[in-house]
Amino acid sequence: MSYKKILCSYNDGIARITLNSPKNLNAMDYSLLSELSKELDECKKNANVRVVVLNGAGKGFSGGGDIAAMYKAIEEGQGFGELIEKAAEVALKIKKLPKPVIAAVHGPVAGAGFNVAIACDFCIAAENALFLQAFVKIGLIPDCGGVYLLTRAVGAAKASELALTGKKISAKKALELGIVSEMYNNEEFEEKTNKFALKIAKGPAVSYKNMKQLIYKSQFSDFEDYLKEEVRAQVECSKTEDFKEGLKAFLEKRQPNYIGR
């Protein structure tokens, strides 16, 4: 299948999906999310795929949403319902994929990029990775299942701190918090990630499938219901003046002047 914003390769039982829109830091726009969703379906159907590695081209994994495109859409009176639903769809497909998914992240891992990464079964980071729940800075809530996944990863108190303040955390701190399972220096990051993916690819596929299903049932059984509420809440936030002001302030590189309505 031919894509415009992702690259895919298959080798030794490993499907590598690379977010490939480096000019806007692999922004999670509708086009990229749609392609990612389709490729996850392909990985699910392909019996030769035993593990999926998700990474990003260029300077980082993903900077989150395309702020300039969002502001243009707001100015033109367009809504964001379809985009928000597609983000939720990707997170759900990662969690329910009957094969292990490894996020291999470097550089900025922000917004939706952060939450796609923690939706994966493993998150392996280069030491230069920088994690950021950026939504509060533009008057939104975390999408891609962010609050749900983050509270389960680090607990409610730390998730509240990260989501409500938009605080940046280093790869080292993310490792300490349990967001990241392994961290490697930038030079050996790719080699170590590939070695781990190959080890998983040689493992027991049926066992992995059943473990993922049981983990989902025990920890994420209400995830779909949560995502519906997340979409509703995000649509509400996207209609506010705070959202428009947050986007404008970001583009103008200044602090937003929220009005709290």
116 in Cβ contact with 62 (< 8 Å):
yes
Q: How many CB atoms lie within 10 A of CB 12?
A: 12
pTM above 0.85, yes or no: yes
N- to C-terminal Cα separation, the chain = 45
Nearest CA-CA partner of 13 in 100, 76, 90: 100
41 in Cβ contact with 3 (< 8 Å):
no
User: In degrees, to the nearest 5, what angle opens at C-alpha 66 toward C-alphas 62 and 69?
Assistant: 165
Q: Would you state the pLDDT for residue 260?
A: 59
Using only C-alpha atoms, the chain has a radius of gyration, in whole angstroms, of 18
Residues 245, 249, 251, 254: what is their CA dihedral angle, to the nearest 10 degrees? Answer: 180
Q: Among 64-68, 114-118, 193-197, which stretch is predicted with the lowest mean pLDDT? A: 64-68
| Segments making up each domain of the chain, as ranges | 1-186+204-261
Identify the band that residue 165 occupies on the pLDDT scale cut at 50, 70 and 90: very high
Which residues, in sequence order, are bridge partners of residue 51?
Answer: 14
Identify the band that residue 108 occupies on the pLDDT scale cut at 50, 70 and 90: very high
Q: State the sign of the Cα–Cα–Cα–Cα dihedral 195, 199, 202, 204.
A: negative
Nearest CA-CA partner of 149 in 200, 237, 88: 88
For 1-186+204-261, give the CATH class.
alpha beta
Counts of helices then strands in the chain (DSSP H, E): 11, 9
Query: Is pLDDT of 259 > 80?
Result: no
Q: Would you state the pLDDT for residue 27?
A: 96
Query: Is pLDDT of 29 > 80?
Result: yes
Query: Is pLDDT of 261 > 60?
Result: no
d(CA 26, CA 61): 7
Query: Is pLDDT of 209 > 90?
Result: yes
